[in-house]
Structure 1
Amino acid sequence: MLRGLTLILAFQLAGLALEQIPGMPLPGPITGMILFFLYLLVTDGGFDPERETARKLLNHMPLFFIPAGAGIITLGSLLQEQALGITLALTLGTLVAFVVTGLLMQWLIR
């Protein structure tokens, strides 16, 4: 498991390093995930250490939501002030995602 976790963190670090390039349009963690995704494509889904690590991380996925929950509790008053904007952004973003996904699926099926 240590090898798989080290590899995942290495891609995270690579993304953070690339973030230092001036004009880089994506945040480092996103760049790291893209690099890791490309690695998984090239290696046909990774090797056993990565798969084992992924299984163990997925088993503990609820733990990753604790910081988000704490942030919601801590910033509750700010969320109340911005409730209309947040609701509109989430609703419109979801509708746009549905429409784009539907159109993309129709195009890909042809």
Structure 2
Amino acid sequence: MKGSLVTGLAIILLFQLAGLALEQIPGMPLPGPIFGMVLFFLYLVITGGGYDPEREAARHLLTHMALFYIPAGAGIVTLGALLMEQALGITLALTLGTLIAFVTTAHLMQWLSR
């Protein structure tokens, strides 16, 4: 069982590494981690959801998902003054980004449901 978890994590990290390698090609429009996620998504689509090692690794990662928020929380605490200084811009960006995503999703849903 433990070997399966290590194998699953290794497979996920290989997709991350592949994305970072693609990022090194000049003129690539997206960051490496995004390429890695797209490659992993394609792998999951092709394999019908992956195999047991990836599923087990995903289960363990999701179990400990709260730990992934600690760096973000630490960043908010340490950069609080900067966040307050830029509060208006951050608020506008978040509000406009959310509205654009909401309107785009609504229009896409209407278009797809026809």
TM-score bracket, shorter-length normalisation: over 0.9
CA distance in 2, matches of 1:25, 1:12: 16
Shift of 1:71: 0.7
Letter in 2 for 1:47: Y
CA distance in 1, matches of 2:41, 2:14: 13
- Where do 4+ consecutive residues of structure 1 move more than 4 Å? none
Letter in 2 for 1:48: D
Count of aligned pairs between the two proteins: 110
1:40 to 2:49 alignment: no
Gaps of 5+ in 1: none
CA distance in 2, matches of 1:23, 1:65: 32
Letter in 2 for 1:7: I
CA distance in 2, matches of 1:105, 1:48: 33
Gaps of 5+ in 2: none
1:2 to 2:6 alignment: yes
CA distance in 1, matches of 2:23, 2:78: 29
CA distance in 2, matches of 1:56, 1:46: 15
Q: How does 1:1-110 map to 2 (within 5 A)?
A: 1-110=5-114
Shift of 1:52: 0.8
Secondary structure of the 2:54 match is: helix
What does the per-residue CA deviation read over 1:28-60, in whole Å, with 9 as the maximum and x for residues that have no partner? 001100000000000000001111110110000
Identity %, equivalent residues: 77
Taking structure 2 as the reference length, the TM-score comes to 0.95
What does the per-residue CA deviation read over 1:37-88, in whole Å, with 9 as the maximum and x for residues that have no partner? 0000000000011111101100000000101111111111110000000000
Shift of 1:17: 0.5
What does the per-residue CA deviation read over 1:11-41, in whole Å, with 9 as the maximum and x for residues that have no partner? 0000001100000100000110000000000
